[in-house]
Amino acid sequence: MYHFIGKQIRVHLYSREGIAVGTVTGRVADIAKAVEVADGMKKDLVLVVDIQTGDPENPYKNSAGMEGESWFAVQDIEIIEEEGRRIFSN
Protein backbone atom coordinates (compact mmCIF):
# COMPACT_ATOMS: atom_id res chain seq x y z
CA MET A 1 0.00 0.00 0.00
CA TYR A 2 2.90 2.38 0.52
CA HIS A 3 3.19 2.71 -3.25
CA PHE A 4 0.09 4.96 -3.07
CA ILE A 5 2.01 7.75 -1.28
CA GLY A 6 2.57 10.72 -3.57
CA LYS A 7 0.23 9.43 -6.29
CA GLN A 8 -2.49 11.57 -7.85
CA ILE A 9 -5.81 9.83 -7.30
CA ARG A 10 -9.52 10.13 -7.89
CA VAL A 11 -11.80 9.38 -4.94
CA HIS A 12 -15.27 8.02 -5.61
CA LEU A 13 -17.61 9.53 -3.02
CA TYR A 14 -20.66 7.73 -1.63
CA SER A 15 -23.53 8.73 0.64
CA ARG A 16 -24.04 6.85 3.91
CA GLU A 17 -26.60 4.76 2.03
CA GLY A 18 -23.95 3.66 -0.49
CA ILE A 19 -25.15 5.81 -3.40
CA ALA A 20 -22.41 7.30 -5.60
CA VAL A 21 -22.49 11.11 -5.31
CA GLY A 22 -19.42 12.17 -7.32
CA THR A 23 -15.64 12.30 -7.35
CA VAL A 24 -12.80 14.51 -6.17
CA THR A 25 -9.09 14.39 -7.00
CA GLY A 26 -6.04 14.79 -4.80
CA ARG A 27 -2.69 13.37 -3.72
CA VAL A 28 -2.07 10.57 -1.21
CA ALA A 29 -0.01 11.84 1.74
CA ASP A 30 -0.25 8.94 4.22
CA ILE A 31 -1.80 5.54 4.82
CA ALA A 32 -3.26 3.70 7.79
CA LYS A 33 -3.76 -0.06 7.69
CA ALA A 34 -6.64 -1.95 9.32
CA VAL A 35 -8.37 1.03 10.96
CA GLU A 36 -11.53 0.07 12.82
CA VAL A 37 -14.23 2.21 11.16
CA ALA A 38 -17.17 0.47 12.87
CA ASP A 39 -17.59 -2.33 15.40
CA GLY A 40 -15.85 -5.34 13.87
CA MET A 41 -15.12 -3.57 10.56
CA LYS A 42 -11.57 -2.62 9.61
CA LYS A 43 -10.47 -0.82 6.45
CA ASP A 44 -7.21 0.40 4.99
CA LEU A 45 -7.31 4.20 4.68
CA VAL A 46 -5.37 6.85 2.77
CA LEU A 47 -4.98 10.50 3.73
CA VAL A 48 -5.71 12.59 0.64
CA VAL A 49 -4.49 16.20 0.48
CA ASP A 50 -4.78 18.97 -2.11
CA ILE A 51 -8.33 17.84 -2.81
CA GLN A 52 -9.94 19.47 -5.83
CA THR A 53 -13.68 19.34 -6.43
CA GLY A 54 -13.57 20.86 -9.89
CA ASP A 55 -15.39 23.94 -8.54
CA PRO A 56 -13.12 26.55 -6.89
CA GLU A 57 -16.19 28.23 -5.35
CA ASN A 58 -17.02 25.03 -3.42
CA PRO A 59 -13.87 23.50 -1.90
CA TYR A 60 -13.99 20.05 -0.32
CA LYS A 61 -14.52 20.06 3.45
CA ASN A 62 -14.18 16.95 5.60
CA SER A 63 -16.54 16.08 8.45
CA ALA A 64 -14.40 18.14 10.87
CA GLY A 65 -14.74 21.20 8.61
CA MET A 66 -11.13 21.21 7.38
CA GLU A 67 -10.66 22.13 3.72
CA GLY A 68 -8.68 20.15 1.19
CA GLU A 69 -7.85 16.96 3.08
CA SER A 70 -9.53 13.84 4.40
CA TRP A 71 -9.15 10.10 5.03
CA PHE A 72 -10.75 7.70 2.54
CA ALA A 73 -10.99 3.93 2.19
CA VAL A 74 -8.49 2.44 -0.25
CA GLN A 75 -11.33 0.68 -2.05
CA ASP A 76 -12.81 4.09 -3.00
CA ILE A 77 -9.72 5.43 -4.78
CA GLU A 78 -8.38 5.15 -8.30
CA ILE A 79 -4.81 6.08 -9.20
CA ILE A 80 -4.89 8.54 -12.10
CA GLU A 81 -1.14 9.13 -12.34
CA GLU A 82 0.43 5.99 -13.72
CA GLU A 83 3.36 5.08 -15.89
CA GLY A 84 2.27 2.93 -18.78
CA ARG A 85 -1.18 1.65 -19.65
CA ARG A 86 -3.77 0.85 -17.00
CA ILE A 87 -5.63 -2.41 -17.35
CA PHE A 88 -7.36 -2.35 -13.96
CA SER A 89 -7.84 0.32 -11.29
CA ASN A 90 -5.72 -0.24 -8.16
Judge residue 38's burial from the number of C-beta atoms within 10 Å of its C-beta, 0-12 exposed, 13-18 middle, 19 or more buried. exposed
CA-based nearest residue to 75, from 41, 46, 39, 50: 46
Q: What DSSP designation does 53 have?
A: -
As a whole number, mean pLDDT of residues 49-64 equals 92
- Give the pLDDT band (50/70/90) at residue 88: low
Q: Which carries the bigger pLDDT value, residue 90 or residue 51? A: 51
Mean pLDDT of the chain: 89
Helices in 1-90 by DSSP H: which ranges?
none
As a whole number, mean pLDDT of residues 55-77 equals 93
